[in-house]
A and B are shown apart, each in its own frame.
Chain A
């Protein structure tokens, strides 16, 4: 970074570290970061940066759902008390909209753009992770319920433990498409089953 721009960068100060151990990038202390930039090119850069920060935050805290009407979950993410700046809900919505365009998020179809799922890991990555876990644990050729994958005893130490149903569904869709697994309808979402084939590994 050049000498001239370092002035502004210096002003951002030390990056904030949360009690959870999450460290915000120092741009999080940049006041214009909380204003929707009207200039298209600037907005693109800004929304990209926000997308990255949101995904890092969600990944660190194993969060999946972003709810515009629930201000407590993401209070530390979108509200910077140190510089007295906070993102307005409509700005968050605009940022999520940009993330949806890039495939990093998806609106909950029933929420009218008030709730979204953040894909801090792509479904393809989840698919690889889940299938390798299945084969490692010798669970292939048997039927697993979605509940067992997301909340089962065997998966407690896995990253996809407590995975959001929508993300899990997306992941399974990927596996089915690849021909690695097949799904079975159940009474509800958690009772839906999946069977991994040998060849899929």
Chain B
């Protein structure tokens, strides 16, 4: 059981997924066995299979007893069909503990085992593993927080300050310190590059730039003469060569690192390395399956069935090895990395894109915009494209909305409206019957609450089920649900102890209300005073009320009827429709 990690849950007790992680299937009433013994703490819960992990969420105490197991730790699976009163079970054989390295503790592992070299590991892999160990540093110019292994700020291209240089764990194996050493020696050899000439004045704006700048930081004018250009190019080539000298196993990692690496790149590199490492480890064990000892196996007991399909999906998830090429979370950054790496590969002599200064920042912003535009137009080209890019689009919408909220001068209503559109745009991985199976409606109810709660609160605490159906399905994109599914899910709110309730008005209208909704008293008082303040002789229709307070007509009608039932207003039925008036009958004296 110690291979399982606690997992993060949402407020409705659904697992928080990593970017690109998708639920493959869900099965309730599953118990865990630690080896051959029942795990006392995890007797009954819902098991989610994602493309990265197996997650167990306890039915009774989800907040504390929810754990996850990474699929990459699983060596093999065995299926037991069940007999008499014994439930079907899936046994997961885990890799032996020594192979069970955790990315966070990789350094420890390297220092204790890697030194021996008996594992037959490629040294470059080990080097790559150490990359993660350097702490991040803050750029002195733009205060951007950069990954430790980067030598230049990802935003403005300014070099990492020397004072914050960390002592590497394995200096000899670190490719970046190797690279780092080249310019420092070359600088001393190069004429006109001594400390006596601290900066180059820009011919256009006279700004004193750092000697390493090719273009002025302020205006972007080309600064240096041909000699220093040649030096710069030479330096660049050396840098490239040093990278190409690295063993081929690391090529993917190094390419991404040589350009403008980001956090996600580093993760990708690390995971690639870990994948290779895993392969190496199984080779080390001669490819023979470890005996399923108690400590190295976990059993899932399927008391409500479903083990067969779970096993099939688990096998395919393990076969896909989605964790090996975990893509980047942000579409913008991904695309930017791609574009900048093409620049390098094509040998284009415009290094200014990399080392920019203020003009560089502006260029970066521009290219970001361009890439976002491309993502948008690609996504909307056809439906399939939109589905493929659903996650990216949601991430983009969030980015834009965050940017809007950060800008100071955007208090106008238009921006606020735009933001709400963006926020209601998407659910990245909607619960479907395929992924949730038997617990579909429960999962749907939880997803619905997560999504709709802020919207219902914004709408004043009550929304008709019809409106919710529209908003929810719009957010789900193509994974539409039927009204019946929505109704069934809403009926589960109370059983699942979720903060919303479905209410049926006398007329049959169904609404969803927050627990702390407006009371009928408040609503009826507000409506009565609204009607009393109408111009003389005028009545109020449901349509007028709906447009005045921005609720649906059905709900407005319901609120008027409720107020009428309290004897506060009275009705006038005519060919013009149903109008409501102040109740003059109550105190009328004739």
Contact = CB atoms under 8 A, between A and B. Distances in A.
B590 A39 contact: no
Contacts of A46: 570, 585
Interface string B535-554: 11111000000000000000
A54 to B, nearest CB: 12
Contacts of B532: 4-5, 7-8
B537 to A, nearest CB: 3
A45 B581 CA distance: 15
B564 A38 contact: yes
B588 A27 contact: yes
B534 A39 contact: no
Contact of B581 (A25, A32, A38, A53): A32
Given A8-B581, A49-B590, A39 B533 contact: no
B567 interface: yes
A42 B570 contact: yes
Interface of A: 1, 4-5, 7-13, 25, 27, 30-35, 37-39, 41-42, 45-46, 49, 52-53, 84-85
Nearest to B581: A32
Given A11-B537, A42-B586, A53-B590, A85 B574 contact: yes
B538 to A, nearest CB: 7
Given A7-B533, A8-B536, A11-B538, A42 B567 contact: yes
Given A27-B588, A49-B590, A84 B574 contact: yes
A7 B535 contact: yes
B537 A8 contact: yes
Contacts of B587: 1, 5
B478 interface: no
B588 A49 contact: yes
A39 B570 contact: yes
Contact of B582 (A8, A13, A45): A8
A9 B572 contact: no
B540 to A, nearest CB: 11
A49 B588 CA distance: 8
B564 A27 contact: no
A147 to B, nearest CB: 37
B571 interface: yes
Contact of B583 (A10, A11, A42, A53): A42
Nearest to B582: A8
B474 interface: no
Given A37-B570, A52-B590, A45 B585 contact: yes
Interface residues of B, number: 29
B579 interface: yes
B572 A34 contact: yes
14 contacts: A8-B531, A9-B536, A9-B584, A10-B536, A11-B535, A32-B571, A34-B572, A37-B571, A37-B585, A39-B565, A49-B588, A49-B590, A84-B574, A85-B572
A45 B586 contact: yes
Contacts of A85: 572, 574
A31 B585 contact: no
Nearest to A56: B590
Nearest to A7: B536
B78 interface: no
- Shortest beta-carbon contacts, A-B, top 9: A11-B537, A11-B536, A45-B585, A31-B572, A4-B532, A25-B590, A10-B536, A8-B582, A32-B572
A102 to B, nearest CB: 16
Contacts of B590: 25, 27, 49, 52-53
Given A11-B538, A52-B590, A5 B572 contact: no
B573 interface: yes
A47 to B, nearest CB: 9
Given A4-B582, A10-B536, A35-B573, 12 more contacts: A27-B590, A31-B539, A31-B579, A32-B585, A37-B571, A39-B564, A41-B567, A42-B567, A42-B583, A42-B586, A45-B583, A53-B590
Contacts of B574: 31, 34-35, 84-85
A7 B529 CA distance: 11
B581 A39 contact: no
Given A10-B536, A11-B536, A35-B573, A27 B567 contact: no
A31 B538 CA distance: 10
Contacts of B570: 32, 35, 37, 39, 42, 46
Given A31-B574, A85-B574, A42 B536 contact: no
A9 B571 CA distance: 15
A5 B579 contact: no
A1 B536 CA distance: 15
A27 B539 contact: no
Query: Which one of B532, B535, B537 has the highest number of Cβ atoms from chain A below 10 Å of its Cβ?
Result: B537
Nearest to A30: B584
A5 B583 CA distance: 9
A9 B585 CA distance: 11
A50 to B, nearest CB: 10
A31 B534 contact: no
Contacts of A39: 564-567, 570
A120 to B, nearest CB: 15
B534 A7 contact: yes
Nearest to A43: B585
A41 B564 CA distance: 10
Nearest to A50: B585
B203 to A, nearest CB: 77
Contacts of A10: 536-537
